[in-house]
Amino acid sequence: MNRVYNFSAGPAQLPEPVLKKASEEMLNYRESGMSVMEMSHRSKVFEKIMEETETLVRDLLGVPEDYAVLFLQGGASLQFSMVPMNLMKKPGRALYVETGSWSQKAAEEAEKYGTVEILASSKDKNFSYIPEIPAVTANADYVHITTNNTIYGTRITHIPETGSVPLVADMSSNIMSERIDTGNFALIYAGAQKNLGPAGVTLVIMKKNLIGAIPAAVPVMLRYGIHIEHNSLYNTPPCYSIYMVKLVLEWVKDLGGLGAMEDINKKKAGILYDYLDNSRIFKGTVRRQDRSLMNVPFVLPTDEQNTQFLKKAEAAGFVNLKGHRSVGGMRASIYNAMPVEGVQKLVDFMKAFEKGAADV
């Protein structure tokens, strides 16, 4: 069977050259005589992998000197807990922008550690837009945003003004997809399995001086300070996933870095949105100015048509297009690894489907 066009929201398609390189290096990584899966995380050769991966993150995202780059476990979901555990003072107070289920989960977790206020929300219209985020004047330990909402297909384009209040961002589904000014954020976190590599590692980029005194009862593995002190090697890290992140970031760098990546992503999303705007039967579900470059939800007039389309698409090699149950219909996740050609072919297929359904 040929490789399919995989529109999964995550774990997602990886760049083919990366998979090929990984397979070439599978049995014997750089004359070490072993696979990266088999080497000690304390070995020189693995230390070099860590160093190279961190340097790539720093170079691609322009990470300021006074920030730490961490490779942790537990997914973005563990960051929902670690952020309030480490950043909330006693008594704690944080402001959350509610733009979808992931931000709700993050806020719910924070409520266990202090007061959570919703700074802005788009819940009233099933999260189909990004709400206006007011300037932060109040005193708070941090403000939390989700820059790209994987399920609903929205994206924050105007980073809120938070003054001296640290800004924390869940970038799980749009990290490395476009240029950002990393210095505007006090802490960024992202699960790897969309744009960075396979599942199992979570990237955290944080201002080192952000962590204050946290209670001794907080488990050692959940303390940012410990991971900063040990350069993400307090315990055995997810070695192979980190190595894969390195290969993915080398691929991004070779393409020309985040500027080039952003251009490609805008081109891909443009092809799909232009078609959705002109189709008689397919419709996008998100307010135009808030559309994600990474996750594109769309619907047909009836559930029956959605089901029929998904079935035909799968048979034609376009897989994992089923939308999340809270939106319905379809969702095309077009992360960095999805080639322009994959989106073009999907649109050609949608056009053919529309023609066949001309009588609807």
Ligand X SMILES: Cc1ncc(COP(=O)(O)O)c(C=O)c1O
Residues of the shown chain interacting with ligand X in the complex, contacts defined by CB under 6 A: 10, 75-77, 102, 146, 150, 170, 172-173, 191
Residue 307 CB, shortest distance to ligand X, in Å, is 24
Per-position DSSP letters for 43-95, written without gaps between them: SHHHHHHHHHHHHHHHHHHT--TTEEEEEESSHHHHHHHHHHHHH--SS-EEE
Residue number with the smallest Cβ distance to ligand X:
75
Whether 4 and 349 have beta carbons less than 8 Å apart is answered as no
Active-site residue, selected from the candidate residues 102, 141, 251, 268: 102
Active-site residue, selected from the candidate residues 141, 170, 251, 290: 170
Considering beta carbons, is residue 86 or 292 the nearer one to ligand X?
292
Residue 232 CB, shortest distance to ligand X, in Å, is 17
Give 33: exposed, middle or buried? Use CB within 10 Å, 0-12, 13-18, 19+. Answer: exposed
Whether 156 and 103 have beta carbons less than 8 Å apart is answered as no
H or E element, residue 119: strand 115-121
Residue 312 CB, shortest distance to ligand X, in Å, is 26
In the residue annotation, 194 being an active-site residue is answered as yes
Residue 193 CB, shortest distance to ligand X, in Å, is 6
In the residue annotation, 348 being an active-site residue is answered as no
Considering beta carbons, is residue 170 or 290 the nearer one to ligand X?
170
Residue 303 CB, shortest distance to ligand X, in Å, is 24
H or E element, residue 224: helix 224-229
| Side-chain-side CA neighbours of residue 61 (13 Å) | 29
Considering beta carbons, is residue 332 or 347 the nearer one to ligand X?
332
Considering beta carbons, is residue 77 or 305 the nearer one to ligand X?
77
Considering beta carbons, is residue 29 or 71 the nearer one to ligand X?
71
The maximal CA–CA distance of the chain, rounded, in angstroms, is 67
Q: Quick one: tokens of 289?
A: 């100015």
Whether 210 and 83 have beta carbons less than 8 Å apart is answered as no
Considering beta carbons, is residue 81 or 308 the nearer one to ligand X?
81
Cis peptide before 134 (omega within 30 of 0): no
Active-site residue, selected from the candidate residues 141, 194, 251, 268: 194
C-alpha 149/C-alpha 63 separation (Å) is: 23
Q: Taking the CA atoms of 246, 188, 98 and 282 in sequence, report the sign of the dihedral they define.
A: negative
C-alpha 177/C-alpha 180 separation (Å) is: 9
Q: Quick one: tokens of 306?
A: 């959605």
Considering beta carbons, is residue 46 or 177 the nearer one to ligand X?
177
Residue 279 CB, shortest distance to ligand X, in Å, is 27
Nearest to 209 by CA among 222, 190, 228, 191: 228
Pairing type for strands 154-155 and 330-333 reads: unpaired
Nearest to 204 by CA among 172, 178, 241: 172
Give the catalytic positions in this structure.
Answer: 102, 170, 194
